[in-house]
Structure 1
Amino acid sequence: GKMEEGKVDSADGLFAHLFCLEAQAQEAAVKQEEAERQEEKVARLRARVQELRLQRDELQAKVDLQQKGQLGEGGALAAPAQPSAQAVLEWKIKSLKAMLEIFYLTGLSAKLTKHGVCFSISTAYEGTYLDSYHLELLPKPAVQIQQHSIPSFIPLEQISSRYLQTDIRQFLAVLAAHLNAYVGRRYQAEQLQELFSEQIEGTLQRNSLCNLLVFRYKVTRQGQSFPFQARLLYRDLCCSLPTEVMVSCTSEAPAALAEVAAAHSALFRHLALHRAF
């Protein structure tokens, strides 16, 4: 792995090694950002097309409701009337149907149930499918969550209070971002523990949300092993990369290893955890 590339036996060699690590991290970060930008651009364009179709269908539904309310017997114009509760419900269901294709483009799928709509949120990390979560929404009288399988540590109530009554699409998008980031962090921790068990000392410590990870690992220099400790904090719960990283070594370690710890810290901030090793 990147931490095992070459043995650094001199100060010049150490700094050259650190420079190489930093360059690799920056190059990987640039490539990842560019790929994400392209994916986001395509997704935005597709979503925009579907959004315009949805707006068209909503306008048509409103026109249909108005025509039903204004045409009396024999097709004569009658006084404008408020649409019935049943007509409004039918319009809501039609709008929800039109939204399903938009959601499918972003890893979301849905199906109509007897009383509302059941959404499925599929999560993945680096192309690897991970978990699916479900929630059922009832559209009347106000939109409400009937049942769900969202983990308790995901701030569902907070997201619901902010978006559910005003923008269902945004509600689902934010919820999906939280879930994808969570499974991404969890996946990285599991891969690190599984693939690099010989370098990891003890058990990787993490909380339920996997936004705080602490682990110890060994670094070998000139035939001698030195223990390092890493603490990764993810303040942005919609992100699978840490916002704060602290890597330290013991006071008995050579002074030059402090530079190695700094290089490792940069790697952990820019690369998936299991790819930094």
Structure 2
Amino acid sequence: MEGASTKGVLSHLSLLEVQARSRKTQPQQPSRVKELKAKVEALLTQRDQLRAEIETHKNLKKLRASMDKWCTHEEEEEEEEEEEEGMDEDSENSKLLRLMARHTQLKDLLHAHHVIGGYNVIKTRQGKGMCVSLATAYEGVYLETYNLEIDVKPTVRISRHDVPPFIPLNNLAEQSSMQTDIRTLLDPLSQHLNAFAGRKQQLKLVKELHKSVVVMESNVLCSLLVLMFTVPKEKTLVLCSLDYTDRTRCLPTRVHFKCNDKELPDSPEWKKHRSLLMETPVHKALITMRKMGNIV
């Protein structure tokens, strides 16, 4: 009897345990309602945000349309009054919208600037021509800017320019496919101009930074440079010729030393200097040579 009674109690306890577990796993009705209310509030908030974004996008589109048509400050004010009718001119929201529209406009201009290769292009003669500006720079410093006026109708041709005569502009034009792709002319021309500007800037820096180095010879294209060094120990004079045969580069293709000491140019130390001058801008190479104690 005791065994049967014990089994009955255990079975009842097991049943109660199962029922308790099932109650825990079932969501309580009040908490479920609360969860649904929170979800509805989140969806309503998301809806309001989407509506605000759509309204902002519409206003930005209107502002961009007006900003793209502005040519003078007077036209700008007229367009703003027409396009922003009903908007408070002095409100923070309208100011923010104008800034956002200007930001998107500048981003589009930068993208277009990148597409045309980074060149500044202005239409001339009612779209029959264009003026291209090619800026030169060296070591992060902007230098000279050159301009090409190009006719696009009936055929593409260079009408006027201020490119230096020693730059092979005509040859570059003949070798290009400018009738179908103007960048086939502008890219190599920009390379020639920037290389020339870089060599010219290096010569200027040599004169400014190295007073003890004498510039014996240089040409207009800065494709040939002859310098005179003084070796401190023996007070020996060394002539250094730098030949820039590749006109599209700022570094020389040949470096030659000449002095009374016939062995000096072929010494291991000066062979290193030759390599240094061919791999490093001349004004920086001279700083290294001076620190090594090889020139005054």
Q: CA RMSD in A?
A: 2.4
Q: Which has the higher contact order (CA 8 A, sep 6+)?
A: 1
Q: Which residue of 2 aligns with 1:269?
A: 278
Q: Which residue of 2 aligns with 1:236?
A: 246
Larger Rg: 2
- 1:174 lines up with 2:188 in the alignment: yes
2:219 partner letter: N
| Contact in 1 for aligned 2:265/2:271 (Cα 8 Å) | no
Change in CA separation of 1:256 and 1:273 when aligned onto 2, cut-off 3 Å? closer
Paired residues, number: 175
2:195 partner letter: A
CA distance in structure 1 between the partners assigned to 2:236 and 2:277 by the alignment: 19
| Contact in 2 for aligned 1:100/1:109 (Cα 8 Å) | no
| Contact in 2 for aligned 1:248/1:261 (Cα 8 Å) | no
1:111-126 matches, cutoff 5 A: 111-114=122-125, 115-126=128-139
CA distance in structure 1 between the partners assigned to 2:246 and 2:282 by the alignment: 16
Q: Secondary structure of the residue that 2:133 maps to in structure 1?
A: strand
1:261 CA drift (Å): 2.5
Change in CA separation of 1:147 and 1:99 when aligned onto 2, cut-off 3 Å? farther
1:196-235 matches, cutoff 5 A: 196-198=210-212, 200-201=213-214, 203-221=215-233, 224-235=234-245
Q: Which residue of 1 aligns with 2:257?
A: 247
Q: Secondary structure of the residue that 2:190 maps to in structure 1?
A: helix
CA distance in structure 2 between the partners assigned to 1:260 and 1:218 by the alignment: 15
Structure 2 unaligned spans of 5+? 1-108, 287-296
Q: Secondary structure of the residue that 2:269 maps to in structure 1?
A: helix
Structure 1 unaligned spans of 5+? 1-96
CA distance in structure 2 between the partners assigned to 1:113 and 1:268 by the alignment: 45
Q: Secondary structure of the residue that 1:263 maps to in structure 2?
A: helix
1:248 CA drift (Å): 2.8
1:190 partner letter: K
1:244 CA drift (Å): 1.1
CA distance in structure 1 between the partners assigned to 2:131 and 2:196 by the alignment: 22
Q: Which residue of 2 aligns with 1:144?
A: 157
1:140 CA drift (Å): 1.4
2:249 partner letter: C
Q: Which residue of 1 aligns with 2:34?
A: none
- Give the ranges of 4+ consecutive aligned residues of structure 1 lying more than 6 Å apart after TM superposition: none
Q: Secondary structure of the residue that 1:194 maps to in structure 2?
A: helix
CA distance in structure 2 between the partners assigned to 1:98 and 1:111 by the alignment: 15
- Percent identity, please: 34
| Contact in 2 for aligned 1:116/1:136 (Cα 8 Å) | yes
| Contact in 1 for aligned 2:117/2:183 (Cα 8 Å) | no
Q: Which residue of 2 aligns with 1:109?
A: 120
Q: Secondary structure of the residue that 2:173 maps to in structure 1?
A: helix
1:187 is aligned, of 201, 214, 217, to 201
CA distance in structure 2 between the partners assigned to 1:187 and 1:256 by the alignment: 27
1:167 CA drift (Å): 2.5
Can you list the C-alpha shifts for 1:181-203, whole angstroms capped at 9, x where unaligned?
001011111111121022x13x3
2:239 partner letter: Q
2:207 partner letter: Q
CA distance in structure 1 between the partners assigned to 2:229 and 2:265 by the alignment: 17
Q: Secondary structure of the residue that 2:222 maps to in structure 1?
A: coil
CA distance in structure 2 between the partners assigned to 1:103 and 1:194 by the alignment: 39
1:112 CA drift (Å): 0.9
Change in CA separation of 1:159 and 1:257 when aligned onto 2, cut-off 3 Å? closer
1:119 partner letter: V
- 1:127 lines up with 2:137 in the alignment: no
TM-score (norm 2): 0.55
1:220 partner letter: P
Q: Secondary structure of the residue that 1:276 maps to in structure 2?
A: helix
| Contact in 2 for aligned 1:219/1:227 (Cα 8 Å) | yes
1:210 CA drift (Å): 1.0
2:251 partner letter: L
